[in-house]
Amino acid sequence: MTSQIRKLIELADILALNLKCKSCGSSLAIPASRDMTTREEMGKLASCPVCRRAWANLNGSTYEPAIYEFTGALNKLRSIITTAPLGFEMTLQISDEEEV
């Protein structure tokens, strides 16, 4: 007999985008509902707020817009799925945790 366990999460269960600094270990949680595309938010992910090491800026390029687009798309999709009478439900499948 084969047994399978799948871990699924609903879009509504995604509460925050968590960033952990590879340099100092500090963590930053950005609420998924927060609009990161505003002018006031730009540049906030360029470096770690604690040790100031580069985060989203690398070799003169910034990857912040991709992060902001991801959170914006997540919020838009979450809104569509909860308000439109679509013929499906959507969940994300996540991998099993590695045993230590």
C-alpha span between 17 and 32 (Å, rounded): 6
* Residue boundaries of the structural domains of the chain: 8-84
**pLDDT above 90 for 39:** no
The mean pLDDT value for 55-68 works out to: 85
Instruction: Considering only residues 72 and 3, tell me which one the structure prediction assigns the higher pLDDT.
Output: 72
CA dihedral for 62, 18, 69, 9, sign (positive or negative): positive
The mean pLDDT value for 56-81 works out to: 87
* pLDDT score recorded for residue 29: 93
